[in-house]
Chains A and B, each alone.
Chain A
Amino acid sequence: MSTTVVRNKPSAFGSFLRAVGAIAWKDLAAELRSRELLSAMLVFALLVILIFNFALELDVKTRATITSGVLWVTFAFAGTLGLNRSMAVEKDRGCLDGLLLAPVDRSAIYFGKVISNLAFMLIVEAIVLPVYSILYNTNLFSLGLVGVILLGSIGYVAVGTLLSSMAVQTRTRDVMLPILLFPVVVPVLVAAVKASSGFLQSIPISEILPWLNLLVVYDIIFIAVAFMTFDYVVEE
């Protein structure tokens, strides 16, 4: 321990951003090596759309109306798996304590986890969409749909990361997260399904706009709520 330890110049926002980046980098680096979380989410998501494909004998018109529902059910269930695993990794080896001991605002932990969880969810969605498109013979390539998926995923992950950090403290954490998450995330899922469906059926944007507004407002509100409450959620 001979060299002098030098810290960056005190800058609350700079330290905050560096901590957010460090947490996201750590999660992505660990996942790229183990692929535990992504492979579980991906296999689960592909199985769900495959089961729906066999279960529903659909004509072209009906297919267009149920696509957004099937997609969002798939994303929501696969996302729950990822959120649970992402926080369990922190808890199991005491790493959550390691993060909480760092001299940064604790909301940096939340935002770091949100970024990595969102990245995992978007990777799964990017793989599921073309597979769905082939299996159901449906064209899903629409910029509007991509926007909705992004907004919906942000809302889902924003709430899910906060609630998974609560659920992970309980003994029944695997079942606790869906029980806590799904009632709270209903507005996101409803708005995302309606907006996705609107883009897929080429409904005028004026009719889709209220659902997009709801998604944006939900995202902002829950990110703000998480920012204010995360410290209390993770503290004993």
Chain B
Amino acid sequence: MIEVRKLLKRFGPKTVLRALDFHVEPGEFVVLLGPNGAGKTTFLRILASLSRPSLGQVSIAGHALPEQAAEVRRALGVVSHLPLLYGDLTAEENLQFYGRMYDLQNLDSRVTEVLQLVGLENRRRDLVRTFSRGMQQRLAIGRAVLHDPEVMLFDEPYTGLDQDASAMLDEVLRNVAARGRTVVMTSHDLARAEELGSRFDVLSRGVIAASCSQKELGASNLLSFYKQALAA
């Protein structure tokens, strides 16, 4: 579903990603771990076609970047720590706007369905700027799943969320995974990552330093795997 070969990303003299290889099968839930500054966000931005690689090949859902960027974007849903929502529009208007950008039909029923999914149906006519951080993140997830994408990218989605909002996000992520969608999520929360992920990759010094599946992890915990990967 996601195929990355020899990916290199430079910002001026600084090389952030060094010949990185990455492969994700359909339906996998990959949690990308790594210290701050390891290049996780840069990597996700390249996958999301928001940033151009300096070298290397990226293809998602059978479409190559940057040549088939529109097809890749149609297959992607992205949630970052910023909500990507307009404060002066209502929850409903935000989703309708993004629905039009994705050229969706039956928009009213789809918007209602998504608002129910993220538990915001009773706030549909409220301005987004009146929402708490948790509610904004819930709506941001609604925005990302609106077009029912095959692949979902989550960049630190738990940042700034309280317990209730985090639990709600857990539920949405499980729902997405249960529907066979492919997920790549960056996180610093190892406990949550272990609970949700089917595979764990550690990004360090610009490459995938270690990778293991939930099965391979077995009885050992993710923290020790992560520490070993960073120490190697």
A residues within 8 Å of B by Cβ?
A: 1-8, 15, 18-19, 21-23, 25-26, 29-31, 33-34, 89, 93-95, 97-105, 235-236
Inter-subunit contact B127/A7 (CB<8 Å): no
Inter-subunit contact A6/B105 (CB<8 Å): yes
Residue of A1, A7, A26, A235 near B97 (CB, 8 A) is: A26
A232: min CB distance to chain B, Å:
9
B93 within 8 A of A: yes
Inter-subunit contact B98/A1 (CB<8 Å): no
| Residue numbers in A under 8 Å from B85 (CB-CB) | 93, 95, 98
- The docked-state distance in angstroms from the alpha carbon of A21 to that of B96 is 12
B135 within 8 A of A: no
- The docked-state distance in angstroms from the alpha carbon of A8 to that of B146 is 15
Instruction: Give the size range of B's interface with the partner.
Output: 35 or more
| Residue numbers in B under 8 Å from A6 (CB-CB) | 104-106
Type the 1/0 row for B93-129, where 1 means its CB is closer than 8 Å to any CB of A: 1000110111111100110011001000000000100
Inter-subunit contact A19/B83 (CB<8 Å): no
Inter-subunit contact B89/A29 (CB<8 Å): yes
B87 within 8 A of A: yes
| Residue numbers in A under 8 Å from B93 (CB-CB) | 26, 29
Inter-subunit contact A94/B50 (CB<8 Å): no
| Residue numbers in B under 8 Å from A31 (CB-CB) | 88
| Residue numbers in B under 8 Å from A34 (CB-CB) | 88
| Residue numbers in B under 8 Å from A102 (CB-CB) | 73, 98, 101-102
Of residues 54 through 103 on chain B, the ones whose CB sits less than 8 Å from some CB of chain A are 70-71, 73-74, 76, 78, 80, 82-89, 93, 97-98, 100-103
- The docked-state distance in angstroms from the alpha carbon of A105 to that of B145 is 21
- The docked-state distance in angstroms from the alpha carbon of A5 to that of B109 is 10
| Residue numbers in A under 8 Å from B127 (CB-CB) | 33
Interface centre among A2, A5, A97, A99 (most CB of B within 10 A): A5
B28 within 8 A of A: no
Q: List 7 A-B contacts (CB under 8 A).
A: A3-B106, A5-B148, A7-B103, A26-B97, A98-B84, A98-B85, A99-B101
| Residue numbers in A under 8 Å from B148 (CB-CB) | 1, 4-5
Inter-subunit contact B103/A1 (CB<8 Å): no
Given A5-B147, A19-B101, A99-B101: 6 more A-B contacts, CB < 8 Å = A1-B117, A3-B109, A4-B148, A94-B82, A97-B80, A100-B50
Type the 1/0 row for B25-41, where 1 means its CB is closer than 8 Å to any CB of A: 00000000000000000
A3: min CB distance to chain B, Å:
6
| Residue numbers in A under 8 Å from B106 (CB-CB) | 3, 6
Inter-subunit contact A103/B86 (CB<8 Å): no
| Residue numbers in B under 8 Å from A99 (CB-CB) | 101
B residues within 8 Å of A by Cβ?
A: 45, 48-52, 70-71, 73-74, 76, 78, 80, 82-89, 93, 97-98, 100-106, 109-110, 113-114, 117, 127, 143, 145-148, 175, 179
Inter-subunit contact A3/B110 (CB<8 Å): yes
Inter-subunit contact A101/B100 (CB<8 Å): no
- The docked-state distance in angstroms from the alpha carbon of A147 to that of B134 is 49
| Residue numbers in B under 8 Å from A8 (CB-CB) | 103-105
- The docked-state distance in angstroms from the alpha carbon of A201 to that of B103 is 50
Closest A residue, CB atoms, query B78: A101
| Residue numbers in A under 8 Å from B84 (CB-CB) | 93-95, 97-98, 101
Closest A residue, CB atoms, query B143: A98
| Residue numbers in B under 8 Å from A100 (CB-CB) | 49-50
Inter-subunit contact A1/B113 (CB<8 Å): yes
Inter-subunit contact B179/A1 (CB<8 Å): yes
Inter-subunit contact A22/B101 (CB<8 Å): yes
| Residue numbers in B under 8 Å from A105 (CB-CB) | 70
| Residue numbers in A under 8 Å from B103 (CB-CB) | 7-8, 15, 18-19, 103-104
Inter-subunit contact B89/A30 (CB<8 Å): yes
| Residue numbers in B under 8 Å from A2 (CB-CB) | 113
Residue of B52, B80, B97, B113 near A22 (CB, 8 A) is: B97
| Residue numbers in B under 8 Å from A30 (CB-CB) | 86, 88-89
